[in-house]
Amino acid sequence: MSKSQYRILFSDLTHTGVGLNADVFPLGLGFVAAYACQELTDLIEVELFKFPTDLNKALNEAPPDVLCFSSYAWNARLTHKFAEYAKKKYPGAVTIFGGPDFPLPEDERKDFLLERPAIDFFIKWDGEHALVGLLRNLFARDMDFKGMKAEAVSLPNVCYVDHSGQYVEGPDHRVRDLMTVPSPYLAGLMDKFFEYPMMPSIETTRGCPYACTFCNDGSALRSKIYQKTPEYVRNELLYIASKKKKSNQLAIADLNFGMYQEDLETARTIRDIRKSSGWPDRIQTSIGKSHPGRILEVVKTINEGNTGIIKLSSSLQWTDDQVTKSIKRKNLSMTQLMDMRRDKNEIQNNNLQDYTELIVPLPGDTVEKHRKSLRDVVDTLGMNNIDVHQLTMLRGSEMATKSHRKLMGLEVKYRMFVGCLGIYDIGDERVPCAEVEETVVENRSMTFDEYLDCRVLDFLVKIFIDSNPFREVFGIVRKMGLSSFDVLLEMRQSHVSRYPALASLLDEFVVRTKRPMFNSLKELDAVISKADYIQDLISGNYDQNEMLTCMGVAFRDHFHDLALILKDSVLCYLKKNQVLNADIEAYVIDAIRFCEDRKFDFRNFSQPKEEEFEFDFVEAEKVGFEIEPSEFKRKSKIRFYYDDEDLSFINRQVSHWGANTLHHLGKFLQKSNSLKIRRKVVRAF
C-alpha cells in the first residue's frame, strides 16, 4: 500500500576537514528539490543537507525513503560512502545520484555504475524533470525499485544497471523553460544555510554554447541557452540581501555571465542592492567569451564607485591557436581583448582587476607555447590576476574519455583533491575520506620534467605579477615597451642563485609539486585511507596546495628578498636593453621600498606607516605607475594605511579563512580582494 508521504533527503555534501571546501549554497540541488516540492506537493517531505555531520544525524534518527545526492569531483567519494552506509542500514531506501561527475560514453557509464552498487539510479544532465518522473514511477510501485529495474523501464535522463548487470539509459532531456522551476530561496529551502559562512549562489542562464573538451559542460546537448526573467533574478537577489548574515560574497553559477543582454539588467539590480545594503562586496562567476563591450559594461555597472567587486576576466586557458583548436575552445581574440584593455583603462583609476586562467599541459602544449601564453597575458594584455591550473581529467568531459586520452597521448598521475578531505562520523564509525583527481603531467609534446619547468614559471608569475604586489616597479618596464615576463626569465636564469632562500623555495616548490603525485590509484588509496595521514593533513603538518603554500611562505618570510631580487633583475634587464639611466635606477630603488611599505603584513596590518621618498608615488599611481621617472622626481612623505572599511574586510577574511597555518594564509591571499588588502597611500603633511 502506498505511503501518504515519503521522506526524501537531498544532500550536496562538502568536505569540512580543513574548513568548508565547497562554501556555496547547494543551488543545483535546491532547484531539483524545489521542483519536486512543487510537483509532488503533499506526497513528500524534504530536507537539504550540506554538512556530513547533519546528514549522519538525520540518517540515524529515522529511515529515509529516498536519498538524492549531488556528485561533483570535490565530493564524489564522500557522497558514495554515505550512500553505502544508507543502503546497508536501510536496504529498501532508494539512492539517486545526479551531477556532472558521470562519464560520457555509455560503456564507461555502465562500468561506473557497476563499480558503485550503492547507486540505484544516476540522473544525467538536468535533474528537475527527470527526478520527478522517476519518483512518480517509484511511488506508483510502492518503492519497488528492483521490480522497476527488472522491467528495464526507460525514463528521460535516468541511467541504471539491473540485477543482472544490464545497463539502461533513458533519452537525453533538458529543461527548456527555466521559469517552470521555482526559486529554492523563495520556497524557503535555503534559509538554514544563511546561518553558515557560505556564499549564496544564483543562476540566471543555463547552458554553454562552447564545446571545450576539458569541461563537463562541453557536450553538444548543453549548447542551447535557456534564461530566467530579470524579475525572477531580481526577486532572488532581494531575498538573499534581506537574509544575508555570514557571507559578504555572491556566486553567479552562469557559465558565461556578462555576454547576454539580460546580464545588464542583473548588473543594475546588483548595483542598486549594493547601494542600499552594501552587499555583496565580492562576486565569483565565469565571465563570457564574446560580446566584450557588453561584458565591460556589466563589470563597470557592478563595480560602480568601487573596485574589485567583480573581476574583468577572460578565462583564456591558452593563447596558441593550435592548442585552442585541439581543445575545441573559443576565446575572445587578442584584438578584442586589447580593445577591452584600452576601454577599461578609462574607468576606475586603472584599478580594475583583470583576471584570466590558463591550463597546463593541454594537448599540443610545449614549454615555448606555455611561455608565449604567459607573455601574452602578462605583457600584451596586462593581466594582474592570473591562475594557471594543472589540467585535471573531469568525468563527463570529452577529454576524460578513454578514446580521447589515447588520441591526445595524455599521461596522468593521481593526487588528492586539495582541501577535499576529512574524518567523518558515518553511522557509528569514524571514516577517513579524501577525494582524488587525475592530473595530466605529460603529452606527446611535453615531458614531465618540462611540465615541472612550466610550473616553476607559473609560480614566479604568481608571486611577482598576480595581484600586483610590485606594480610600481613593473609599471616602468611597461612604459618602456619591454616585457615584465622577460624580467622573470632574467631573474630565474641569472639571479636566483645569489639568493639562497629563494633558490631553496623554488626547489621546495618542485618537491612539493611532485610529492603528492602517485603513478597509480591503488598507491594513492593506500595512503589516504589511513586516518593518521588525513589527521596530519587536517592539522597542517603537510601542505595540500603547493602553489598557495609556497606563495604564503614567500610573502610571509621572504618578501624583502623578493624585493631585492626583483630590483637586481629589473636593473640588469633594463641595462641589457640599453634604457637604464640614473633617474630610472633611483626610481626602481625607491619603488622597491614603496612596495615593501605597502604590502599586506599578516603580523601587523593595523598600524599605519610613514616614509620619505625621492619620487611622488601618489601622483604616479594615477597613471598606473607607467611613468617617465624624471617627471615625478620630487621629495614626498607618504602615509600608508587602511581605512575602517578595509580593516573590517580584512578581519572578516581572516575570521573566515583562518590564520593559523600556511594553508590558511594561502587561502586568504587567494580569496581576498587584493585591492582591499593593499595599503592605501596619501601624502603626509
pLDDT, mean of each 10-residue run, the chain (685 residues): 83 93 95 98 95 97 97 97 98 97 96 97 97 97 95 97 94 97 97 95 95 88 94 97 91 95 96 93 88 88 80 63 71 63 52 76 92 92 87 94 93 94 96 96 95 96 92 95 96 94 94 94 95 88 80 90 96 97 97 93 82 95 92 94 87 76 74 78 86
Nearest to 80 by CA among 102, 60, 58, 64: 102
Which of these, 153, 188, 156, lies nearest to 170 by C-alpha position?
156
Name the one residue in this structure whose C-alpha cell is 577517513. Answer: 432
Distance, C-alpha 151 to centroid of its chain: 43
With CA atoms as reference, report the closest residue to 193 among 361, 24, 319.
24
Supply the pLDDT for residue 349: 47
pLDDT for the residue 157: 98
The answer to whether the beta carbons of residues 402 and 412 sit under 8 Å apart is no
Alpha carbon distance 472, 638 (integer Å): 14
- Could you give the count of Cα atoms lying within 13 Å of 15 in the half-sphere of its Cβ? 29
Position 457 scores a pLDDT of 96
* Distance of alpha carbon 302 from alpha carbon 280, whole angstroms: 10
Question: How many CA atoms does the CB half-sphere of 592 hold within 13 Å?
Answer: 18
**Residue 330 has what pLDDT?**
67
Residues 680, 640: contact at Cβ < 8 Å?
A: yes
The Cα–Cα gap between 189 and 46 comes to 9
Q: How far apart are the first and last CA of the chain?
A: 85
CA distance 377 to 484: 11
Q: What ranges do the domains of the chain cover?
A: 6-169
Which pLDDT value is given to residue 268? Answer: 97
Residue in 307, 334, 299 with CA at minimum distance from that of residue 319: 334
Return the number of other C-beta atoms located less than 10 Å from residue 636's C-beta.
Answer: 18
- DSSP string for residues in 230-251: HHHHHHHHHHHHHH--S--EEE
For 199, left (φ over 0), alpha (ψ -120 to 50), or beta?
A: beta
The residues near 219 (Cβ < 8 Å, ≥ 6 apart) are 104, 211, 396, 398
Cα-based distances in Å from 451 to 129, 168, 445, 602: 44, 41, 10, 32
What does the block give as the cell for 114? 557497476
Q: Check if CATH label 3.40.50.280 holds for domain 6-169.
A: yes
Q: What is the distance, to the nearest Å, from the Cα of residue 50 to the centroid of all Cα atoms in its chain? A: 19
- Give the Cα separation of 464 and 552 in Å (integer): 13
Residue 19's CB is within 10 A of a number of other CB atoms, namely: 18
